[in-house]
Structure 1
Amino acid sequence: MKKEIRTVVYDEDLRIEAYRFEGIVQPFPNHFHEHYVIGFVEEGERRLLCKNKEYKVKKGNLILFNPGDNHACVQSDGRTLDYQGINISKDVMLDLVEEITGRREFSGFSETIVWNEEITVCLRSLHEMVMSGSSDFGKEEMLLLLISALIQNYGQAFVCSVPEAMRLYYEEVEKACEFIREHFDERIYLDQICHYSGLSKSTLLRAFTKSKGITPYRYLETIRINEAKILLENGAPPLEVAMKTGFSDQSHFTNYFSSFIGVAPGVYREIFNKNN
């Protein structure tokens, strides 16, 4: 049987808890939490009882618990459960909702078990950033995108004030791009970009994505990788390139570069320097 592993990480920047359970077989008795739970089933099937309603939970399902939702579950197949999720306190959730909608009120999620690939991608990306200890503003960006999508799709008895169409905010978005280009080699924060552009975090994310087709953090990653390519083409060693382009260490840089370009930085460097 697969070894049972339980990992929990608290992110002080976001004030949320991320956890991962692997190889779990134990049943969980009827209980409730005082916080919001947003989870994702990686492997396994469970029979879940929540608020006197029974669900079959399987691979790919998102699980949404509001504070006070009583629930119990037991494995329903012969396999173990692999599960990842985040816990968000009521105060932090209200802060996020206010940032996104301008209103400090949230009745909770209308659904318990859902299937939504877009939201799943957000959750898994956020979870990975928190579990790996990322310090980039990409994790804050991803948390806002996640909660915004959840509110729009599953906000319970809530009239969402997120506009259906976002005007371009052309000048503000260009100012955000300017700030990112000028400070790409530093550790920068979403607050700094918002202050420079004159937009709130939620408005910046929506306007920037609509205008540029990518989020501010992905824009920053792209700028960094493009600068790294130039340095590597000119013979700079990967460690030096990592430091000059704002990455926390060489391993972080190598992972990002490989995911964007398809080859490791050292291999890319050799392509341009093998005849020198």
Structure 2
Amino acid sequence: MALITEHLQRGGLIEASWVRASAASFPRHTHDEYVLSANLQGHEQIWLDGRHHDVPPGAVTLYNPLAVQGSAFGPQGVEYISLHLSPDALREVVAEHSLDNSSGHPVFTQGVLNDPALLKAIVEFATCDAPQEQEETWLALLCQLLEQGTAHRDEHSTGVRHSIAFMREHLHRRIELEELAAVSGLSKFHFVRCFKKATGLAPLQYHMQLRLIEARQQLRAGLHPLEVAQRLNFYDQSHFINAFRRVMGVTPNSYWSRLHRPA
């Protein structure tokens, strides 16, 4: 298994990475940002919305915040650029430049896109080294992204939405299935069935994803990985490391080091 991630740039708005992978995979997981990727070489296999899709060279993948996705890379290898865009910051930039009249966070039609112009905009933004041109390439990318069609938000059942709110309130500990079912007002059987149908993940797996999102935010804020593991009550450091690496492709320490390396 080979997975090499080169961190290109970071900030409150966006993180960019250049990824080379072969015989590797990411299990089903989610992020709190929009995830936009340009496939440069090789074929990626993704799982999204209950279906498997092939991502050929030249294609773009687009995921809305908290979309559950998985991916796998064959032994022939894949190379792609991945961008993680903050929803709140994206909304602010859109409003500042009057790029869209809708309120709230855009909800795009997600999945595999055949859009050469968007692919080109991603590559130009990620490879731009001239500071005076970075804003221009970013706005060009944003405008191209907003050309994508929007989709209606899927409304979870009341019970599922209540359980997710409960999960968010209890990121610093493990929770039991019985607790979540009680919050949802459903039996455990019906709760698990409705939750997995709505999100693509079982409830406790989804809660783990939310905890890892919180871990990533704390690492960005400068907290050391050991402190993050303790704050979130992972029962041991190796459990935290393995869970984080399965989703991010790097260990918490590597992720923290890249973000806070001396200039």
| Contact preservation (8 Å) 2:23, 2:75 | no
Q: Does 1:146 align with 2:141?
A: yes
Q: Does 1:62 align with 2:56?
A: no
| Contact preservation (8 Å) 1:61, 1:114 | yes
After superposition, the Cα gap between the structure-2 partners of 1:41 and 1:110, relative to the gap in structure 1 and judged at 3 Å, is same
Query: Which 5+ residue runs of structure 2 have no aligned equivalent?
Result: 154-263
What residue in structure 1 maps to residue 5 of structure 2?
A: 6
| Contact preservation (8 Å) 1:97, 1:105 | no
What residue in structure 1 maps to residue 131 of structure 2?
A: 135
What residue in structure 2 maps to residue 209 of structure 1?
A: none
Cα deviation per residue 1:201-251 (whole Å; 9 max; x = unaligned)? xxxxxxxxxxxxxxxxxxxxxxxxxxxxxxxxxxxxxxxxxxxxxxxxxxx
Deviation at 1:9, TM superposition (A): 3.1
Q: Does 1:26 align with 2:27?
A: no
Q: Cα RMSD (Å) of the superposition?
A: 2.3
Match for residue 82 of structure 2 among 70, 85, 88: 85
Cα deviation per residue 1:143-177 (whole Å; 9 max; x = unaligned)? 2222222222333359xxxxxxxxxxxxxxxxxxx
Deviation at 1:141, TM superposition (A): 1.8
**Higher RCO (CA < 8 A, seq sep 6+):** 2
After superposition, the Cα gap between the structure-2 partners of 1:113 and 1:50, relative to the gap in structure 1 and judged at 3 Å, is same
| Contact preservation (8 Å) 2:87, 2:105 | no
SS of the residue aligned with 1:48? strand
SS of the residue aligned with 2:147? helix
SS of the residue aligned with 1:154? coil
Cα distance in 2 between the residues matched to 1:116 and 1:63: 10
| Contact preservation (8 Å) 2:109, 2:150 | yes
Larger radius of gyration: 1
TM-score by length of 1: 0.50
The runs of at least 4 aligned residues of structure 1 exceeding 4 Å deviation read: none
What residue in structure 1 maps to residue 36 of structure 2?
A: 38
Deviation at 1:83, TM superposition (A): 1.2
After superposition, the Cα gap between the structure-2 partners of 1:74 and 1:5, relative to the gap in structure 1 and judged at 3 Å, is closer
Cα distance in 1 between the residues matched to 2:138 and 2:82: 13
TM-score by length of 2: 0.52
Cα deviation per residue 1:15-42 (whole Å; 9 max; x = unaligned)? 3111011244311100000001110111
Cα deviation per residue 1:95-143 (whole Å; 9 max; x = unaligned)? 13222124442332113110111111111000101xx4x321x221222
What residue in structure 2 maps to residue 113 of structure 1?
A: 112
Deviation at 1:60, TM superposition (A): 0.7
